[in-house]
Every structure is written in structure tokens, then in C-alpha cells.
Structure 1
Amino acid sequence: MTKILYIGKHPEILQTVVRLINSDENWFGIGAQDEQEAIELFSKYDFSIVLFGCGLDKETEDSLTAFFKKANPKILVIEHFGGGSGLLKNEILSALSQ
């Protein structure tokens, strides 16, 4: 099972993206709305992918990426800013195939 952490500031989008992730039987998704929640979740689960959504500034993304990569150098970090469920699925599948 591929575990995916989605981080985004907009609650409705966060819920939608997590629901789309969890609609795939091979994926398990959880969402976080802020940096602290993301770090806490990251320490509890063995994520394969982190998705950055809209609402995060560059400094936060860079800080979180450094933290995640230090904890797990193999973690895949992807920026996802919308585009529908097809794009989301393709972004995840593309990252997993690399």
C-alpha cells in the first residue's frame, strides 16, 4: 500500500484530494493543513509520497522538503495544484515509476 501525505491550506480541496487518493485501493492518503500537523503525521506513518497543494509558500515547502528528505531520502515530493482527478493520478503514478 502506497501511503501519501497531502499538505494544503484549503480544507475543501484537502478533503477532495484525500478522497481521490483513497479512491484507489492501492493508496492510503491523509491530509494536513499546516506544517506542524504534516510533521506529526510524517513521524507516525511511512509515507512514500508527499504532495504539496495550494496555499503553501515557497519557504514552507522548502523547509518541509528538507525535513522529509532528511528523515527519508527516498521520499517523493510532488507539487499538485489542481487539474482534476486524472492529473492527480498521473502525477502519483509518474512519481512512483521513477
Structure 2
Amino acid sequence: MSSSDELACVYAALILADDQVAITGEKINTILKAAGVSVEPYWPSLFAKALDGVNVKEMISNISSGAGAAPAAAPAAAAAAPADDKKAPKKEEKKEESESDEDMGFGLFD
């Protein structure tokens, strides 16, 4: 039942954001009552606190812009790495094998 409660609160918050109304627990409750939806009493206030100070419209419209920033930083870091290798003498590093759960004395079914 809680997933339908959450979904109802999400829709109510989106309606408020679309109408450019502040998202509060009371306003979410008002929309839910008008729609004839009953939810656990803590959900509207929980969503209101989570969305306090958040521009919901901007968050939805910029959902894909965060994915483009991470790959752009990777080539810059890769370009800087060879310059660092030339300055420092090369060291041979020994990679220790990581211990598995069985080696630590516990496993999935213990």
C-alpha cells in the first residue's frame, strides 16, 4: 500500500509545482482529499519536507544534464595523468589479492 501512497503524494506535489504553488503538507493533503485518495498521515509532511527549497520544475527539466558532465571530466583527468607519470619515477606496485568472504570466516549462508 505504501507505494500507492508515495505515488499519490508525488502526483500531488507535481500538481502543486505545475501551478507554481508552494509544496506543503497541508496542500498535498488538500489535493489528495479532493481526489478521494487516502494515504498514511505521515506521507504528505514527509514529501513537503523533502521538497522544501527544491525547484521541482527545474529538477525535472534538468534530469539528463547531469549525465553529460561526468564523461567530460574523464578525458581531462586522463590527459593530466601522463604528465604526472613523466615527473615521478616509476614504481612497481604489488597488488595484493583481496580476500573473499570465505577467507574472512563468514559467507552468505553462515
Q: TM-score, normalised by structure 1?
A: 0.26
| TM, length-normalised to structure 2 | 0.24
Return the index of the structure with the highest Cα Rg.
2
